[in-house]
Amino acid sequence: MDAQAVTAADPTGIGGIGGTVVVAGLGVSGTAAARVLAGRGAKVVVLEGRDGEQARAAAAELAGLGVEIRFGEPAGVPAGASLVVTTGWPPHHPVMAAAAAAGIEVISEVELGWRLRPAGAAPWLALTGTNGKTTVVRMLAAMLAAAGHRALAAGNVGTPVVEAVGGPWDVLAVELSSFQLHRSPSLAPHTAAVLNVAPDHLDWHGSLEAYARDKGRIFERAGTVVCNADDEWPARLAEPYAGGAARVVGFTLDVPRPGQVGVVEDLLVDRAFTADPRREAAELAGFADIRPFAPHNVANALAAATMARSYGVPLEAVRQGLADFVPDPHRIAHVATVDGVDYVDDSKATNPHAAAASLAAYPSIVWVAGGQLKGADVDDLVRRAAPRLRGAVLLGADRERIRQALARHAENVPVVEVAGQDTGVMDRVVTEAARLATPGDTVLLAPAGASLDMFPNYGARGAAFARAVLERLNGPRGS
């Protein structure tokens, strides 16, 4: 749906919305949605269940724009509401349930941004997946920029979509979560990709099937469908589009077939976007161009390259984009080497699938794990990783579940549990990990769980780990 005219009866310009627009959540995207809607003259009410300094600062800014903020757990939809814009509240939340019962449309901030696109707006290259989304979207944006396009990484990373659509961009690289896709019924990206699907957020979606189904919504109106051919769910989600109006392209860590992008020896190779994919392959980049190098990061680079090529990015810009790409913190980041032991921060591994990819990158590991598992099972993760484990140090709310899995599948691996939620926990974790490690090992923070049981976010958890490691290397501050 292209942007519609703004009228007195419809100040939002998104079609038939003349009443109050309710924004559920005062985070980054919720604040952006309220700001944009208020700027269009809409009457906006923001609901926020959690109080705090950051929320109060956002509320003060929006209040100056005429937006009403209501703190506290809401029981239903405010009177007069004609639209609800959610930033990730689950369908079973009382506000979402009340809106559904009243026949009030509920959309995501991403869907709002799509509907507010101006005429001739930048096309979207959109992607989703359980893991790797931010890395891929930033790689993709770097490749687009290397090709001379004014490109922006937006969505679930960086700039909220509702703000990005009004910018001076040629193309948007858009990261989308399953929460956002659940409430985004009209997105029609130029290219859409599903990187991988593994159990995550099952407490929100209710089942793996429902979670995967929401991921697959990204393909529904895409011009080009890109899927991980090595992953069962993305391949299954893309299958209905083969032979239809959309072009379907797979990426693989194996030698690519015609119509795929893949790997030959240590090269990334395109057999999808060449003049004759059946007879011709084109070199995109080499393993040496991928930083940090790990098998799952090769898959990330393949996904970004496939999406870039679908938009006409030349071969040399793919390689240059990988060279220009700067990895985000807390993603298999080498912190230091102490007494012959490498310490690696992959705090972003917030689910078992991500942790499995990280564990597969190192041959001899003392594993630092634990946090909130969000309903995910860790047995398969531990079973696969067991031959690489030299020890494990566990922390956080669900550490007992990981300990039990280790007892079942890695009974000879020494395990230390570190209790407590004080600021010194990570110091004790690193001390115990160092005691278990020998030269040549990697102490790997790949928690397999979320961080909110102990830290404000995964970044704070990774920073605490890195700080403890560096103090071990350099001595405590002030010493």
Are 260 and 337 part of one and the same domain? Answer: no
The number of distinct structural domains making up the chain is: 3
Are 107 and 127 part of one and the same domain? Answer: no
> What pLDDT digit, counting tens, does each position of 217-243 carry?
999 999 999 999 999 999 999 999 999
Task: Confirm whether 13 is domain-assigned.
Answer: no
Task: Confirm whether 72 is domain-assigned.
Answer: yes
Q: What is the CATH number of the domain that holds 186?
A: 3.40.1190.10
Kindly state the average pLDDT of the residues 26-48: 95
Structure tokens of 114?
């799509």
Q: Among residues of the chain, what percentage have pLDDT more than 70?
A: 95
Task: Confirm whether 6 is domain-assigned.
Answer: no
Q: Does 358 score more than 60 pLDDT?
A: yes
> What pLDDT digit, counting tens, does each position of 152-198 carry?
999 988 899 999 998 999 999 999 999 999 999 999 999 999 999 98
Task: Confirm whether 8 is domain-assigned.
Answer: no
> What pLDDT digit, counting tens, does each position of 266-313 carry?
999 999 999 999 999 999 999 999 988 888 999 999 999 999 999 999
302 lies in which domain range? 120-324
Supply the pLDDT for residue 201.
Answer: 75
Are 49 and 132 part of one and the same domain? Answer: no
Q: What is the CATH number of the domain that holds 46?
A: 3.40.50.720
CA distances to 74, 193, 204, 321, 379 from 207, rounded to whole Å, are 26, 21, 8, 37, 18
Choose the final residue of a domain: 264, 289, 324: 324
Task: Confirm whether 4 is domain-assigned.
Answer: no
Are 274 and 398 part of one and the same domain? Answer: no
Task: Confirm whether 313 is domain-assigned.
Answer: yes
> What pLDDT digit, counting tens, does each position of 436-464 carry?
999 999 999 999 999 999 999 999 999 99
Q: What is the CATH number of the domain that holds 387?
A: 3.90.190.20
Q: Does 58 score more than 60 pLDDT?
A: yes
Q: Which residues contact 92 (CB under 8 A, 6 or more apart)?
A: none
Are 102 and 125 part of one and the same domain? Answer: no
Supply the pLDDT for residue 94.
Answer: 93
Kindly state the average pLDDT of the residues 123-149: 96
Binding-site residues for ATP sit at 129-135
**Whole-prediction pTM value?**
0.81
Binding-site residues sit at 129-135
Give the Cα separation of 57 and 51 in Å (integer).
Answer: 10
Are 55 and 187 part of one and the same domain? Answer: no
Supply the pLDDT for residue 227.
Answer: 98
Supply the pLDDT for residue 193.
Answer: 98
Are 403 and 453 part of one and the same domain? Answer: yes
Are 400 and 439 part of one and the same domain? Answer: yes
Of 3-12, 350-359, 388-397, 406-415, least confident by mean pLDDT is: 3-12
Q: Does 347 score more than 90 pLDDT?
A: yes
Task: Confirm whether 170 is domain-assigned.
Answer: yes
User: Would you say 237 and 227 are in contact if contact means Cβ atoms under 8 Å apart?
Assistant: yes
Task: Confirm whether 293 is domain-assigned.
Answer: yes
Are 344 and 451 part of one and the same domain? Answer: yes
Are 318 and 443 part of one and the same domain? Answer: no
Q: Does 479 score more than 70 pLDDT?
A: no
Are 134 and 211 part of one and the same domain? Answer: yes
Torsion on CA atoms 255, 257, 260, 261, rounded to nearest 10: 20
Supply the pLDDT for residue 4.
Answer: 46
Structure tokens of 137?
């979207």
Are 283 and 340 part of one and the same domain? Answer: no
Average pLDDT, the chain: 92
Supply the pLDDT for residue 74.
Answer: 85
Give the Cα separation of 167 and 461 in Å (integer).
Answer: 34
Structure tokens of 160?
């909220």
Choose the final residue of a domain: 324, 350, 384: 324
> What pLDDT digit, counting tens, does each position of 385-439 carry?
999 999 999 999 999 999 999 999 999 999 999 998 876 899 999 999 999 999 9
Choose the final residue of a domain: 52, 78, 113: 113
